[in-house]
Amino acid sequence: MQNIDSLSKQFSIPGHIDFIEGTDGLIVARINNELASAEIALQGAHLYSWKPREEVPVIWLSQDARFERNKAIRGGIPVCWPWFGFHEVDLRKPAHGFVRTCLWTVSGTEALEDGRTSIRFTLTSNENTIAIWPHKFRLTYTITVGTKLDLQLITENTGNLPFKISEALHTYFAIGDVSELEIHGLAGYTYADKSDDMTLKMEPGPVLIRNEVDHIYLDTEGMCRIEDQRQQRGINISTQGSHTTVVWNPWIEKSEKMGDMGENGYRTMVCVESANALNNKVTVNPGHHHELMARYEVTGLQCEL
Ligand code: TA6
């Protein structure tokens, strides 16, 4: 098992990345380069902080987030895999799959010539995962930190039978205030409204958050964009290998039930998740692989409200 000493010896890069022990013994990869900073827990390969040098934090982390073994951190970018949402058959299985609380292995770090830093995590099936989900797999998750944030999740089927997955990079974005927020690029798409019995609806225009929003947009392509008036900035979200986009804000009542969203935390966050879910599930054949990629870029505002 990797520990601080072995990780530091093998993967630390001065001026780029080191490894620290966080609360409850969770090991954290800490990236600090000329362009940006980030923090990633090895549990779940869970990035929970990203801040380009000239920006306020882009990724939201609850003030009441708990860093505990086997508990998903509230905020950041949970990796939901091999299913999104509740397990289709057995509700006793963890929501959003099991990999977000697994201990991932650091398999590589690199200082790129343009000043960015990348770290590669792997997670391979074992008897524990097979007991939950009876398939052999290898996940490779590469995070590249600079003025943009690049995420690449590769699923390999290392078994001898096809398997089907749903997945999401379940990203919590930090915003000024939900009352001054629009999400562009989803107009015209059909979505399943999870807060209304999965009723299928059409998105007429920019997505506004005026109560609980839990929309699963289907057959989405390319990119969408957060317009954050309060902070006078936009965030471009571009993807490859993702055909579902989820937009979620729990609002007041659900936040209170969740218990770890922090005081009025719902006002300063929105999840825009690059996913493959519902009728966009992905079949991976033996010996084949599937890539899910997302890139986040902070820009100026493109439209005044
Ligand atoms: O992606 C939105 C969602 O599926 C919501 O329905 C809500 O359950 C959210 O994920 C958070 O799920 P979690 O298991 O992390 O509390």
Query: In the predicted model, is pLDDT for residue 304 greater than 60?
Result: no
CB contact at 8 A, 182 and 196: no
CB contact at 8 A, 214 and 195: yes
What pLDDT, in 10s, does the model give residues 248-275?
A: 999 999 999 999 999 999 999 999 999 9
Q: Which atom of ligand 1 is nearest to the CA of 96?
A: 14
CB contact at 8 A, 116 and 199: no
Which of 246-281 are b and which e, b meaning 16 or more Cβ less than 10 Å from the residue's Cβ?
bbbbbbeeebeeeebbbeebbbbbbbbbbbbbbebb
Question: In residues, how long is the chain?
Answer: 305
In the block, residue with structure tokens 């995962």: 129
Smallest CA separation from ligand 1 atom 4, residue: 85
Query: In the predicted model, is pLDDT for residue 1 greater than 90?
Result: no
Element (H, E) at 252: helix 251-258
Give the residue among 34, 180, 216, 38 at the shortest CA–CA distance from 114. Answer: 34
What pLDDT, in 10s, does the model give residues 221-231?
A: 989 999 999 99
Q: How far is the CA of 85 from the centre of ligand 1 (A)?
A: 7
Amino acid 22: pLDDT: 87
This prediction has a pTM of 0.98
Asked about 184 being catalytic, the answer comes back as no
Asked about 273 being catalytic, the answer comes back as yes
96 lines ligand 1 (CB under 6 A): yes
246 lines ligand 1 (CB under 6 A): yes
In this structure, what token pair is assigned to residue 160?
Answer: 């001898």
Active-site residue (options: 16, 96, 170, 243): 170
What pLDDT, in 10s, does the model give residues 192-210?
A: 999 999 999 999 999 999 9
In the block, residue with structure tokens 């055909």: 243
Query: In the predicted model, is pLDDT for residue 190 greater than 80?
Result: yes
CB contact at 8 A, 189 and 203: yes
138-154 mean pLDDT: 99
Amino acid 119: pLDDT: 99
Is the preceding omega at residue 14 within 30 degrees of 0, hence cis? no
For ligand 1, mutation pick of 86, 87, 214, 256 (most atoms within 8 Å of CB): 214
For ligand 1, mutation pick of 62, 64, 96 (most atoms within 8 Å of CB): 96
Amino acid 305: pLDDT: 46
What pLDDT, in 10s, does the model give residues 149-185?
A: 999 999 999 999 999 999 999 999 999 999 999 999 9
